[in-house]
Chains A and B, each alone.
Chain A
Amino acid sequence: MSLRVIHIANHKGRESNVSFSTLKHTNNLCYSYKSDPVSNARLRSGSVDTSYDKILSKHGSELVKKILTENVDVDIESFGKLINDSSSIYLDEKGEFLYSPPQIKENILSPQGDILKTVDPVETHANVRDDTPPLVWTKTFVDREEAIRKYIFRRSLQLFHNDGLTYDFLYEMAKELNDRKQMVLLGPGENEKSPLILQNNGSPYRGFLDGYISDKGYKLFIRLSNQEIRLPK
């Protein structure tokens, strides 16, 4: 399965698979020194044995003196060593390796940051793919200006045709929205009121289809929003 293909229906209920790309602001930075490339390196500067808690518990009130005279905060064997690859792991509360799989839970937090409840994580499945039911037009049409005043459109997905047939398919959708000067709320095929989820366990977004045409062709976007423009209640 390719992540860049989605299944979408038009305003007449016809459906097809089309390609898409995320609109991105390209700003890839290249670093150099005296015109030669540089790279990022991670070097060891301490170890478990030289951690503050460890040396404090070992030397207590003598710690400062020990640091000045015996460099107990420096592990000569490891200091300055290059770290090639590392992996994330979990340790128990005492800093020991786990010998049984950990439990995964989710804290649900209020807008004020208080824990409302702790629950088992719920797996959510992507509903915007080439093998899921098509995204369909809901009955919710919104003026562009009204929509942009209400919702933060964090990102846009631009749709592209794969062949002549899907060119006509997308052009007609763009023309319909261009003529209306409106966007339409998209819903996943199995439940039009659900949000769009682009990948398994991904964030839910509301997606609005927005289209334009000219003699140069068409532009068709799914505008993604997950936040209203308003103050907290």
Chain B
Amino acid sequence: MARDIQLILNNKTTSFAFKKISRSDLYGSKKRIVLDSNNSPCVRTQIDEDTGEILPAGSYKSFYIDQEFNYIDKVNLEVSDEDGNPLEKFESTLGNPQVLDKIEIQDFLNMEILSMYHLTSEDVDPELNQLLTNGEFMKFSFNYYADFNLETGVLIKQNDNIFALIGNICQPDWVSETTAPPDSEDLSIIDEDSLDFQMF
């Protein structure tokens, strides 16, 4: 089965090839390197804190174990949310047609965006093309790999290029006068190594 993004609008399917466009593809990037006294690159590795032994790459494996230290195969694991509700595993959507639907700007803005793809197709459904040209944002379900979180993709047309922004829709609440301030949080989740951002 083709590993493309297939999208359906009013029973008409368009197949898109896709290519990820990362931030470093646009602006470059920076990479921190560690050099020894001879200016040669150092090797990052792990050391066992109990024994002091070096753990080279490939010298250990991660497993799931039960409370009696029995090995549990990954395929036999049961997965649930924090409240104990069993979670459904979603198959990859690549090669599986997904229905397009409009998305409101506010929902789009409230997404945490994980990646951007440039989509190309030799035969875009004219109705879809017209909607995108008119400035509509169209959403669809997306899953690169089979897992327990179905992501959302949003189509945007910019000049002649169609992009898909992939992420998760968040649902912020209204803040009233009696709303309590949020708990403390760690900001490291929004950090990454990068060049200064020049787009203005």
Contacts and interface: CB of A to CB of B under 8 A. Distances in A.
What range describes how many residues of A lie at the interface? 35 or more
B177 A164 contact: yes
B59 A144 contact: no
Contacts of B41: 93
Contacts of B183: 4, 21
B44 A88 contact: yes
Interface residues of B, number: 103
A85 B72 CA distance: 21
Contacts of B27: 111, 227
B122 interface: no
A71 interface: no
Contacts, number: 328
Interface in A207-233: 210, 212, 214, 216-221, 223-224, 226-233
A43 B112 contact: no
B46 A89 contact: yes
A141 interface: no
A83 B65 CA distance: 13
A216 B38 CA distance: 64
Interface of B: 21, 23-50, 53-56, 58-67, 69, 72, 76-82, 84, 87, 105-106, 108-114, 116, 118, 135, 137, 148-149, 156, 158, 161, 163, 165, 167-170, 172, 174-177, 179, 181-197, 199-200
Given A193-B200, A216-B176, A230-B26, 5 more contacts: A28-B82, A33-B78, A40-B62, A43-B61, A106-B31
